[in-house]
């Protein structure tokens, strides 16, 4: 009898236990919902970024084509025959050897052929990015599970 | 009452659990079924596509950065048959803008194989035409009219040559299948074209970063000076007209490095219309006569004979020879170009008057082993190794060959019976102009790829003669030009050179009425900056080199010193002494 009294004295009321279960359940649901929302947000942002990358790649290709077209167009406009014709139209004429004066410039070194070295391509290569920047949460989990399985 | 609720709740929970478990079991079963694999593989088909990325063909520049060969965008105009709404409207629009009839377009679209979903109506359509068609589509779209649905435009590159026919013999061309023919375009085709890459391109934007970048083809910088090339081509064209020659070639080279500064030949073609090739040329060797056509060059070969004789010590500039007008070599009589005796001559006189008899005598004094050994070392009968496609080797018969006769020693000594290309002669004589060191001619100055530049070093092709021999012979040839080939002189600059007038061999012997005239020369003698070779084929106003090729040399040399900013000897020596 005394023992039963002690147990009753320390045992929680049933509604308290139920409330704890409900609380734990709700907490789990809230945590899962937060993780899901976070994952959804990250995935959506990744997809948007991926789409932007695709768009940028298309833009790069278009710009490269435009650049090539403009270079060729510029070369067409400054072709040797075109420049000669324009020079003649502007009243210039070919120089005669006797009309040239040479001036001695101490220390002057004739320029080497001008080379058209384009700026080094500093584009970030995809293989230089850590996987964490391109991996989804599921892919990461999948990799970890497979990796663990591999160890076993 | 509470017990009843509990039982009902339990039944509902058990029911929901059973349904839930059933759903999960079904999901797992479907995911792992045989059909699932098929669905997955079908899904993979739509997850992306295999795409081939063709790099942009490398550009070609002259040494001063002028674009000689570039690329421009053209379009493939096609129709997606699955999206096509109104074939008549599409046929009308494309027929109007693509210089086709509506019936032609309609026929292409309606009579295609059933399995085809996309039809190419026309390729290589220029950007202006495509823009005009796209404007029409845009206007219809604004009016919610979808009759032109299905029309597509795929951009790609086409080779473009802004300078049109300038240096066409040297550049070569690229056909629509992307392959280079002749010259630089063929020689460096693999470098210029780059490496196409075929990859799986996912549609998943999360994997967009996996799309690879394709490096463009290697860009080439040539040793050619565009402005000099243009001037030399103009001089060549004027010379053909002035002297009534059939064709011609002029090469300008830096004798110290072997860099080709200009290489002009006729006929030329507009490289943007490469299909003209078949109307202009009969065969490939005519495309660039500077390297592709070997001929009997005549007396310019005397430079090599004299170089060999001086180097072996067979003669010195002061050695005298009594020219009787003829000499017997191998049982055959060899005569001078004018069939007259020239009496006592020293070696400078032999070169000045271009005496066949004297040079044949020198060769016999040297002996055929020595003579042919030197000719081999000068590179006769071998390709020069220039980095251009389509080089001919020429022919140097040597003792032991079935068609070599003892008289060949005498005739070869003055350039008969031996065939060379203009470039071979230029390379051989570069040993004389460059203190005994022979240079390998080349046209590639540098390569640019992925932000890196690779310069092409100059290469020497041996030293067939000594420095002393080279300088002695240069002085002899300078004196020779001053007294006998005044039309080749360039006021203010001392030049060395040699004329060459050669009869043309036919099936019935040498043609007495037609000649090939040549001139090889370089300057300034004390510090050679340029070497020039001129070859005019069958001039009609005069058959003599001194009256045709020599003045052409002078004109080219004049433009060369202006373009390359080479001061006259007097100015250079004044400044050099400071």
The pLDDT of residue B211 is 61
- From B107-121, B428-442, B516-530, the region with the lowest mean pLDDT: B107-121
Q: Which two tokens stand for residue B530?
A: 């340029």
Nearest CA in chain B to A42: B206
Q: Which two tokens stand for residue B230?
A: 């243009």
**By the CB < 8 Å criterion, does A2 face chain B?**
no
The confidence band for B123, taking pLDDT boundaries of 50, 70 and 90, is very high
* B208 vs A50, A84, A116: nearest CB: A50
Q: Which pLDDT tens digit goes with each residue over B14-64?
A: 999 999 999 999 999 888 888 888 888 877 777 777 777 778 999 999 999
d(CA B49, CA A14): 62
**Cα→Cα distances B130→B125, B126, B134, Å:** 7, 7, 6
Mean pLDDT of B112-117: 83
The confidence band for A3, taking pLDDT boundaries of 50, 70 and 90, is low
Burial B206-224 (b: 16+ CB within 10 A, else e): bbbbbbeebbbbbbbbbbb
**Cα→Cα distances A46→A32, A37, A49, B148, Å:** 21, 14, 5, 36
Residue scoring higher pLDDT (B213 or A31): A31
The pLDDT of residue B55 is 86
The confidence band for B321, taking pLDDT boundaries of 50, 70 and 90, is very high
* Contact: A114, B157; criterion CB under 8 Å: no
The pLDDT of residue A115 is 60
d(CA B315, CA B310): 5
B468: pLDDT strictly greater than 70: yes
d(CA B490, CA B481): 11
The pLDDT of residue B46 is 76
The number of angstroms, rounded, from the C-alpha of A56 to the middle of its chain's C-alpha atoms is 9
* Contact: B230, A80; criterion CB under 8 Å: yes
CA distance A141 to chain B (A): 16
Give A92's contacts in chain B (Cβ within 8 Å). Answer: none
- From B215-224, B310-319, B446-455, the region with the lowest mean pLDDT: B446-455
The pLDDT of residue B104 is 92
The pLDDT of residue B203 is 75
* Contact: A114, B65; criterion CB under 8 Å: yes
Q: Which pLDDT tens digit goes with each residue over B74-109?
A: 999 999 988 898 999 999 999 999 989 999 999 989
The pLDDT of residue A47 is 83
The pLDDT of residue A6 is 67
The pLDDT of residue B209 is 57
B334: pLDDT strictly greater than 80: yes
The pLDDT of residue B120 is 92
A118: pLDDT strictly greater than 60: no
What is the DSSP-derived secondary structure letter of residue B54?
A: P
3-state class (DSSP) for residue B505: strand
| Whole-structure pTM value | 0.84
- From A50-59, B295-304, B476-485, the region with the lowest mean pLDDT: A50-59
The number of angstroms, rounded, from the C-alpha of B406 to the middle of its chain's C-alpha atoms is 39
Helix, strand, coil fractions of chain A, as percent rounded to 5: 70, 0, 30
A127: pLDDT strictly greater than 60: no
Q: Which pLDDT tens digit goes with each residue over B515-558?
A: 999 999 999 999 999 999 999 999 999 999 999 999 999 999 99
Mutate to test the interface with B, among A43, A58, A59, A79 (most CBs of B within 10 A): A79
The number of angstroms, rounded, from the C-alpha of B190 to the middle of its chain's C-alpha atoms is 14
Give chain B's mean pLDDT. Answer: 92
B137: pLDDT strictly greater than 90: yes
Q: Which pLDDT tens digit goes with each residue over A16-54?
A: 888 899 999 999 999 999 999 999 998 888 888 888 888
Q: Which pLDDT tens digit goes with each residue over B185-201?
A: 999 999 999 887 777 77
* Contact: A120, B61; criterion CB under 8 Å: no
The pLDDT of residue B97 is 94
Cross-strand bridge partners of residue B220: B60, B447
* A80 vs B72, B212, B226: nearest CB: B226
- From A44-53, A121-130, B103-112, B159-168, the region with the lowest mean pLDDT: A121-130
The confidence band for B427, taking pLDDT boundaries of 50, 70 and 90, is very high
The pLDDT of residue A119 is 39
The confidence band for A109, taking pLDDT boundaries of 50, 70 and 90, is confident
Mutate to test the interface with B, among A39, A42, A68 (most CBs of B within 10 A): A68
The confidence band for A2, taking pLDDT boundaries of 50, 70 and 90, is low
B452: pLDDT strictly greater than 80: yes
Cross-strand bridge partners of residue B247: B537
Residue B524: cis peptide before it, omega within 30 degrees of 0 = yes
**By the CB < 8 Å criterion, does A27 face chain B?**
no
Give chain A's mean pLDDT. Answer: 80
* Contact: B73, A65; criterion CB under 8 Å: yes
The pLDDT of residue B422 is 97
| List of long-range contacts for B42-47, beta carbons under 8 Å, 24+ apart | B46/B203, B47/B202, B47/B203, B47/B204
Q: Label residue B164 left, alpha or beta by phi (over 0 means left) and psi (-120 to 50 means alpha).
A: left
A130: pLDDT strictly greater than 80: no
B345: pLDDT strictly greater than 70: yes
CA distance A96 to chain B (A): 8
* Contact: A126, B453; criterion CB under 8 Å: no
- From A112-116, B366-370, B464-468, the region with the lowest mean pLDDT: A112-116
Helix, strand, coil fractions of chain B, as percent rounded to 5: 40, 25, 35
Mutate to test the interface with A, among B70, B74, B220 (most CBs of A within 10 A): B70
Residue scoring higher pLDDT (B411 or A8): B411
- How many Cβ pairs within 8 Å bridge chains A and B? 128
Give B230's contacts in chain A (Cβ within 8 Å). Answer: 80-81, 84
CA distance B566 to chain A (A): 9
The confidence band for A128, taking pLDDT boundaries of 50, 70 and 90, is low
B295: pLDDT strictly greater than 50: yes
Q: Considering only CA atoms, which of B321, B332, B316, B398 is closest in space to residue B359?
A: B321
Q: Which two tokens stand for residue B373?
A: 């050994």
Q: Is B285 exposed, middle or buried (0-12, 13-18, 19+ CB in 10 A)?
A: middle
Nearest CA in chain A to B159: A72
* Contact: A72, B208; criterion CB under 8 Å: no
Give A64's contacts in chain B (Cβ within 8 Å). Answer: 56
**Cα→Cα distances B406→A120, B302, B361, B377, Å:** 63, 18, 13, 21
SS (H, E, C) B407-464: HHHHHHHCCCCCEECHHHHHHHHHHHHCCCCCECCECEEEEEECCEEEECCCCECCCC
Burial B41-54 (b: 16+ CB within 10 A, else e): eeeeeeebeeeebe
* A76 vs B162, B492, B567: nearest CB: B162
* Contact: A53, B205; criterion CB under 8 Å: yes
Nearest CA in chain B to A57: B211
What is the Cα gyration radius of chain A?
A: 38
The pLDDT of residue A125 is 47
Q: Which two tokens stand for residue B473?
A: 């012979």
Window 67-106 of A: residues touching B by CB (8 A cutoff) are 68-69, 71-76, 78-81, 84, 95, 97, 100, 102, 104, 106
The pLDDT of residue B2 is 74
- DSSP-H helix ranges across B296-378: 302-312, 347-352, 356-366, 368-377
The pLDDT of residue A126 is 46
The pLDDT of residue B174 is 95
Mean pLDDT of B210-225: 84
- DSSP-H helix ranges across B66-225: 87-97, 102-110, 127-142, 168-171, 183-187, 189-193
CA distance A17 to chain B (A): 18
Mean pLDDT of B153-162: 93
Give B56's contacts in chain A (Cβ within 8 Å). Answer: 64, 68
The pLDDT of residue A123 is 44
The number of angstroms, rounded, from the C-alpha of A124 to the middle of its chain's C-alpha atoms is 7
* Contact: B72, A72; criterion CB under 8 Å: yes
Q: Is A12 exposed, middle or buried (0-12, 13-18, 19+ CB in 10 A)?
A: exposed
The pLDDT of residue A145 is 77
């Amino acid at each position: 009898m005394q023992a039963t009294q002690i147990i009753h004295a320390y045992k929680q009321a049933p509604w308290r236990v139920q409330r704890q279960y409900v609380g734990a359940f709700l907490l789990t649901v809230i945590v899962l919902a937060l993780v899901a929302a976070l994952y959804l947000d990250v995935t959506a942002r990744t997809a948007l970024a991926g789409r932007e990358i695709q768009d940028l790649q298309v833009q790069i290709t278009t710009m490269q084509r435009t650049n090539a077209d403009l270079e060729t167009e510029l070369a067409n406009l400054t072709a040797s025959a075109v420049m000669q014709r324009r020079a003649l139209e502007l009243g210039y004429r070919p120089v005669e050897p006797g009309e040239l004066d040479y001036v001695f410039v101490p220390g002057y070194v004739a320029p080497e052929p001008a080379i058209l070295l384009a700026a080094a391509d500093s584009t970030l290569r995809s293989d230089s990015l850590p996987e964490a920047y391109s991996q989804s949460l599921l892919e990461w989990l999948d990799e970890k599970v497979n990796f663990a399985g591999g160890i076993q | 009452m509470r017990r009843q609720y509990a039982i009902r709740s339990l039944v509902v929970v058990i029911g929901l659990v059973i349904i839930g478990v059933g759903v999960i079991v079904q999901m797992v079963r479907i995911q792992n079924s045989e059909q699932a694999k098929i669905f997955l593989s079908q899904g993979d088909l739509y997850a992306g596509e295999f795409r081939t990325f063709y790099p942009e063909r490398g550009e070609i520049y002259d040494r001063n950065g002028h674009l000689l060969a570039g690329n421009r965008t053209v379009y493939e105009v096609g129709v997606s048959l699955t999206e096509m709404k109104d074939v008549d409207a599409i046929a009308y629009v494309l027929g109007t803008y693509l210089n086709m009839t509506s019936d032609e377009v309609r026929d292409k679209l309606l009579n295609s194989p059933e399995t085809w979903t996309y039809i190419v109506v026309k390729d290589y359509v220029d950007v202006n035409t495509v823009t005009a068609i796209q404007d029409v589509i845009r206007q219809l779209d604004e009016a919610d009219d979808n009759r032109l649905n299905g029309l597509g435009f795929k951009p790609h590159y086409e080779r473009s040559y802004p300078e049109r026919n300038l240096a066409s013999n040297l550049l070569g061309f690229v056909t629509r299948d992307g392959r280079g023919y002749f010259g630089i375009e063929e020689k460096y085709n693999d470098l210029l074209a780059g490496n196409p890459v075929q990859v799986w391109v996912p549609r998943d934007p999360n994997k967009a970063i996996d799309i690879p970048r394709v490096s463009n083809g290697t860009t080439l910088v040539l040793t050619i000076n565009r402005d000099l090339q243009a001037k030399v081509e103009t001089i060549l064209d004027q010379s053909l007209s002035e002297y009534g020659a059939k064709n011609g070639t002029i090469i300008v080279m830096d004798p110290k490095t072997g860099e080709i500064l200009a290489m002009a030949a006729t006929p030329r073609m507009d490289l943007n219309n490469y299909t003209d090739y078949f109307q202009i040329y009969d065969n490939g060797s005519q495309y660039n006569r500077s390297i592709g056509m070997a001929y009997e060059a005549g007396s310019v070969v005397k430079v090599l004979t004299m170089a060999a004789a001086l180097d072996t010590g067979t003669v010195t500039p002061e050695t005298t020879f009594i020219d009787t007008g003829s000499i017997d070599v191998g049982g055959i009589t060899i005569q001078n170009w004018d069939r007259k005796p020239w009496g006592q001559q020293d070696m400078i006189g032999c070169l000045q008057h271009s005496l066949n008899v004297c040079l044949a005598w020198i060769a016999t004094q040297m002996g055929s082993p020595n003579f042919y050994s030197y000719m081999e070392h000068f590179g006769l009968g071998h390709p020069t190794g220039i980095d251009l496609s389509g080089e001919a080797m020429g022919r140097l018969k040597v003792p032991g060959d079935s068609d070599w006769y003892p008289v060949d020693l005498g005739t070869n000594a003055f350039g008969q019976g031996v065939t060379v290309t203009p470039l071979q002669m230029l390379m051989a004589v570069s040993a004389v102009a460059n203190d005994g060191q022979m240079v390998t001619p080349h046209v590639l100055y540098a390569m640019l790829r992925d932000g890196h530049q690779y310069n092409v070093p100059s290469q020497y092709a041996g030293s067939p003669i000594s420095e002393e021999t080279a300088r002695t012979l240069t002085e002899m040839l300078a004196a020779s030009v001053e007294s006998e080939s005044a039309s080749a002189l360039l006021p203010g600059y001392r030049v060395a050179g040699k004329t060459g007038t050669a009869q043309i061999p036919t099936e019935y012997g040498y043609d007495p009425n037609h000649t090939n005239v040549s001139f090889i020369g370089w300057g300034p003698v004390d510090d050679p900056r340029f070497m020039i070779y001129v070859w005019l084929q069958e001039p009609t106003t005069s058959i003599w080199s001194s009256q045709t090729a020599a003045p052409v040399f002078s004109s080219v040399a004049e433009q060369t010193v202006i373009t390359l900013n080479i001061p006259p000897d007097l100015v250079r020596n004044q400044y050099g002494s400071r």
